[in-house]
Amino acid sequence: MKFETQKQIEQYLSGDKIQCLECGKWFKSLNSHINRLHSLTANEYRDKWGLPRQTALAGQSTREKLSNQMLSMREEGVIDNEHLACAAKKIDYDLRTPKKAVSAKKQKEAVSKTGLSNIKHEAGATAPSGRDLDRAREYQRANRALKKGDPSLMEKYKEKYPKVEQRTN
């Protein structure tokens, strides 16, 4: 049975130990167990059971202990986050797996709370302000190019839309 709600996932991860969903045994951490006994990587296990990729496969007390260790190492200057910018550039976003149903649902709920859930990504869609979304994107691209010193996109935009609204401050 795959996890379908965030509440199910939270309940699964709430104890000091975590149960292997393959064999039913309990562990402080599943990573080495599932790899050694079930020949699964952590990501394969998460995919199989519908867990989001960022889910730690460890019990609550183990996660807290590791988190505290990392915080103290940061405070002592043993580690820092300087490497993150380089790591982000190396990510191949085309190889990323799609969101799990639970993560997608959580994101949809978060977006609906912001009031931006009416944004559509198809031709003729409108932004929350009521403006045509494609036209707004064209203007943004043209304005960015203009700020960088290239007026050609703004000229094309003005030709396409002769009455460009002037904003008053």
Residue 20 predicted with pLDDT over 50: yes
Measured between alpha carbons, how far is 37 from 21 in angstroms, rounded to an integer?
12
The domains found in the chain, sorted by start residue, are: 6-90 (1.10.10.1550), 120-162 (no CATH)
Measured between alpha carbons, how far is 158 from 151 in angstroms, rounded to an integer?
11
Measured between alpha carbons, how far is 41 from 101 in angstroms, rounded to an integer?
20
Average pLDDT over the chain, rounded to an integer:
82
For residue range 100-129, what is the model confidence (pLDDT) as tens digits?
A: 777 777 777 777 776 655 555 555 556 666
For residue range 55-107, what is the model confidence (pLDDT) as tens digits?
A: 899 999 999 999 999 899 888 888 887 877 777 777 776 677 777 777 777 77
Tokens of 14: 């709430």
Residue 169 predicted with pLDDT over 50: no
Q: CB 120: neighbour CB atoms within 10 A?
A: 11
Higher-scoring residue by pLDDT: 37, 132: 37
pLDDT at 123 (0 to 100): 54
Residue 165 predicted with pLDDT over 80: no
- Mean pLDDT over 151-167 rounds to 79
